Structure 1
Amino acid sequence: MVPLLDRRRSIAPPGFNRWLVPPAALAVHLCIGQVYATSVYKNALVQHFGVGNTEVGVVFSIAIVMLGLSAAVAGTWVDRNGPRKAMATSALFWVSGFLVGALGIATSQLWLLYLGYGVIGGIGLGIGYISPVSTLIKWFPDRPGLATGMAIMGFGGGALVASPLSTRLLGLYDPAYDSSVSGSVPTGDAVAMLFVTFAVAHALFMAFGAATVRVPADGWRPDGFDPASVRSKALVTTASVSARNAVRTPQFWLLWVVLFCNVTAGIGILEQASPMIQDFFRGADGTSTVAVAAAGGFVGVLSMANMAGRFAWSSTSDIIGRKPIYLVYLGVGLVAYALLALFGQTSTALFVLLAAVILSFYGGGFATVPAYLRDLFGTFQVGAIHGRLLTAWSTAGVVGPLIVNGFLDAQGTPGRLTAEAYRPALLTMVVLLAVGLVANLLVRPVSSRFHEPVAGAAGRSSGRDGERSAS
């Protein structure tokens, strides 16, 4: 089977329709996007293992840390070997992570859940996340924001499918669990069965993605596309910067700070989404006006906002530019976060609206950053550069849950918290978004001293990646 995964076996024939590639990317990203639905069964794991929010939140943090680290380490390997082998490798790790995690839940061994879903699954997350991005950028050099939006849209929408499906399957595996009753929690065995079910389903869908993805032939360009048309756009280069040189530029580290701040703020809501809306509308008697099923629906709405933002905002960046769109993400985002912290408990509609806006910016930031990197550093090794930048996501995956869960554990007991318990954490996110806003304002074009020689870049790109640089 290994030779079938070689990059040369996936080169598109003449006349291939490039619009057939996005479904392959979506097949993988919808599966790995399940990581955003962990809050649906978070309380079940807290009760099953007899630990606090922080200990269970570590599972999510480990997965995101491993996502960033594996993307950084494997970025150049993914560029060199192509998306088909990368997607197959991602599926192997992601599915194995679910199976090991299920074993950990069934045997009440929390460390196995850390190892399975966190470490092994996290490696699959990282490789699967970056595998289609550089490929779609090469297929859509005329609209890189649209391309990255399509590539990453599925990741944000994964919870849109996984959240309601998880609720239904948990009810099937644990008949005593009633999602319409506030305080009803499924058993650990039901969550373990859920993990096994996802392992089988994800193996099938990710195999489809790996089998159908294609890469463009050397020198391919879309009809009517003139590379000279991008030269007049601000911050857009036609030069090439290697991954090794990119990390030496101030632009890379400014974008690292921008991504870290935007992601940390988004995770502040996502990681706690399902219990958060119940807590915001909890009365003095300890009961919430929002049922578990309604909270699960709320997670689905957030997933829709996350998914839509990845496509809509990144596509908008093709028109107004990457730097201006990040001013929207961070500037308007911090205002929305402040309003959520101060007034979110006054109305369910207001809470959902503000959270949806924040999550649309969160998703848009993820989808736009590969195009931002392509503008600043060129297409030569954009996949590898993107992988290295995702270490910001790893860091945010630790810091975000620690901020939220740390404040919540200090405020009271899970299931008895109110909106006031969340306020210090949410206002901390406002400060982080302000820092990211300043970092984005400081981004300037990359100095020519970091550029690759034209002949050298073309030669190494052809020999190493099998594709000619778009420059």
Structure 2
Amino acid sequence: MSSPPVAPPGWSRWLVPPAALSVHLSIGQAYAWSVFKPPLESALHLDGTQSALPFQLAIVMLGLSAAFGGTLVERNGPRWAMTVALVCFSSGFLISALGAQTQQFWLIVLGYGFVGGIGLGIGYISPVSTLMKWFPDRPGMATGIAIMGFGGGALIASPWSAQMLESFGTDHSGIALAFLVHGLAYAVFMTLGVLLVRVPRPDGRTASGPRAAGGAQVSARGALRTPQFWFLWVVLCTNVTAGIGILEKAAPMITDFFADSSTPVSVSAAAGFVALLSAANMAGRIGWSSTSDLIGRKNIYRLYLGVGALMYLVLALFGDTSKPLFVLCALVVLSFYGGGFATVPAYLKDLFGTYQVGAIHGRLLTAWSTAGVLGPLIVNWIADRQEDAGRHGPALYGLSFSIMIGLLLVGFVANELIRPVHPRHHVPAPKEAPDVQREQPA
């Protein structure tokens, strides 16, 4: 696949975010996985930890494929990356459909987790560096618009998936048919992004060389040698672990918290809660990342990590006393979770420049891989052990929430330790004519 066509003169940069959104809204279905957990557990006789495996592996593969494929994405362009994402993500659903139909859970893990996870990673980073080159003046807003789609994907997929399961049935055949429809529909939708995406003209206004945006520029290899990269890795990992711990088990969690109340949470209401979390995730991505353009990246992460720890504390102490309080705290945590994802590319740009920011971003997403294992493992494993001990309701989650508070405080400290990158890591600027005007057409 050749790199995408270069945008002609006068082509609006505002056409790039919709192209990115078509991919991110599709792969954002991953956040609706919890809707499939109860049917899979019933149809294939799985426990909570087992039913989380496809999702966990998908997040692991997201980080690994982004890390190892980041340089290829930079080299081959966003159209190539979006095409790879389309093929892998859709194929993952088709393999999962076969696994559900034949009741072979390992095929679902392979399809959704491994193959689909590669599509997640390549698709996730596909537009990032391109958007920053189109929007050097507002990087937080630009990446927030695109990455908002990943958070918003479940807003569409959660009720859609629930409706399909209701129509097709929650046995293995119904789940298989739902997977099949997902794979085909997302293939069509992602094709729109493949056809629409363009790269900026290499005329100096959005050039991709070391001095494209001015200021310090650091290569992907050089970034790995800086403490700033690893502090930011810890920041992202802890923030993601805290958010994903709620998100992956959202539907069962709210059901457990209020199982003994006078008004237990129904299946449809639990699916609605997942959709609400997706809306907060999506809103946080554009809202908080745009705010970071105004108040700075370090300050916004202070908010994510510090207030996030406070929200977990409220959930642990008072979460079962009021449904509105439980929902509100969870929504705030998920808005910070989404905001952290959308802000981190701009944080990387501030620290390392735009020279190889896509590849650096890909390597940083290994933090997401780690969190994709830690978050669900902490919440599901502890809940399963507590259930085996005869406990139920909020008691299933007290210990895991305390662990999340500790992790968020570790991330807060790591954020405080981030300083500007030492000049010895900068890419030497080539001798060239002064930069030309870089103002972008609106």
Task: Please give the TM-score of this superposition, normalised by the length of structure 2.
Answer: 0.94
Letter in 2 for 1:325: I
Contact 1:279 1:288 in 2 (8 A): no
Matched letter for residue 216 of structure 2: A
Q: 1:221: Cα distance to partner?
A: 3.7
Residue 27 (1) aligns with residue 22 (2) = yes
Measure the CA separation in 2 of the matches of 1:204 and 1:10. Answer: 21
Q: Secondary structure in 1 aligned to 2:419? A: coil
Deviations 1:160-209 (A, max 9, x none): 000000111111112xxxxxxxxxxx212111111100111100011110
SS of residue in 2 equivalent to 1:302: helix
How much has 1:239 moved relative to structure 2?
A: 1.6
Match of 2:74 in 1: 79
Aligned counterpart in structure 2 of residue 445 of structure 1, from 415, 420, 430: 420
**C-alpha distance after superposition, 1:404-443 (max 9, x if no partner):** 1111110116998301111111111000000000000000
Task: Give the drift of 1:288.
Answer: 6.4
1:188 maps to 2:183: no
The correspondence of residues 63-462 of structure 1 with structure 2, limited to 5 A, is: 63-174=58-169, 186-219=170-203, 221=205, 238-283=215-260, 289-412=264-387, 417-455=392-430
Q: Following the alignment from structure 1 to structure 2, what is the Cα–Cα distance between the partners of residues 369 and 69?
A: 17
| Structure 2 CA distance for aligned equivalents of residues 70 and 349 of structure 1 | 39
- Whether the 8 Å contact between 1:53 and 1:414 is mirrored in structure 2 is no
Deviation per CA, 1:51-82, whole angstroms, max 9, x where unpaired? 21111111111000000000000001001111
Q: Which runs of 5+ in 2 are unaligned?
A: none
Q: Check 1:80–1:295 CA distance in 2 against 1; reply closer, same or farther (3 A cut).
A: same
CA deviation profile, 1:116-161 (whole Å, cap 9, x unmatched): 0000000000000000111111110000000110120000000000
Counterpart code for 1:380: Y
Determine if contact 1:265/1:433 at 8 Å carries over to the other structure. yes
Alignment counterpart, residue 8 of structure 2, candidates 8, 13, 29: 13
Match of 1:371, SS state, is helix
| 2:255 partner amino acid | Q
Alpha-carbon separation, structure 2, partners of 1:369 and 1:412: 37
Aligned: 1:62 with 2:46:
no
Counterpart CA distance in 2 for 1:41 and 1:112 is 15
Q: Which moved more, 1:47-56 or 1:67-76?
A: 47-56
Give the SS at the match of 2:8. coil
For residues 57 and 131 of structure 2, the distance between their equivalents in structure 1, rounded to whole angstroms, comes to: 28
CA distance in 2 between counterparts of 1:87 and 1:414 reads 47
Could you say what secondary structure the match of 1:119 adopts? Answer: helix
**What's the offset of the Cα at 1:114?**
1.1
In 2: Cα distance, 1:191 partner to 1:117 partner: 13
Q: Separation in 2 of the partners of 1:108 and 1:172? A: 20
Query: How many residues in Structure 1 have an aligned counterpart in Structure 2?
Result: 431
Q: Give the Cα–Cα distance (whole angstroms) in 2 for the partners of residues 145 and 38 of structure 1.
A: 28
- CA distance in 2: counterparts of 1:276 and 1:104, whole angstroms: 26
Question: What one-letter code is carried by the residue in structure 1 that aligns with 2:37?
Answer: K
Shift of 1:219: 3.4
Give the Cα separation in 1 of the matches to 2:225 and 2:185: 42
Tell me how far apart the structure 2 counterparts of residues 81 and 403 of structure 1 sit (CA, whole Å).
38
Residue identity over aligned pairs, in percent, reads 61
Q: CA–CA distance in 2 between the matches of 1:398 and 1:78?
A: 25
Give the deviation of 1:105 after TM superposition. 1.1
Quote the offset at 1:450 in angstroms: 0.4
User: Residue type matched to 1:88 in 2?
Assistant: T
Aligned amino acid, residue 188 of structure 2: L
Q: Distance in 2 between matches of 1:452 and 1:139?
A: 22
Q: TM-score, normalised by structure 1?
A: 0.89
Write the distance in 1 (CA, Å) between the matches of 2:139 and 2:376.
31
Question: 1:374-416 CA distances to partner (integer Å, 9 max, x unpaired)?
Answer: 0000000000000000000001111111101111110116998
Whole-angstrom CA distance in 1 between matches of 2:389 and 2:187: 34
| Letter paired with 1:407 | I
CA distance in 1, matches of 2:79, 2:105: 33
Equivalent position amino acid for 2:185 in 1: A
4+ runs deviating over 2 angstroms: 219-222, 413-417
CA contact (8 A) 1:241 1:380 kept: yes
Deviations 1:205-254 (Å, cap 9, x if unpaired)?
111101001110113548xxxx99x9xxxxxx812100001001000000
Change in CA separation of 1:313 and 1:62 when aligned onto 2, cut-off 3 Å? same
* Contact map agreement 1:279 1:416 (CA 8 A) in 2: no
**d(CA) in 2 for partners of 1:11, 1:148:** 20
Letter matched to residue 344 of structure 1: G
Provide the secondary structure at the position in 1 that maps to 2:430.
Answer: helix
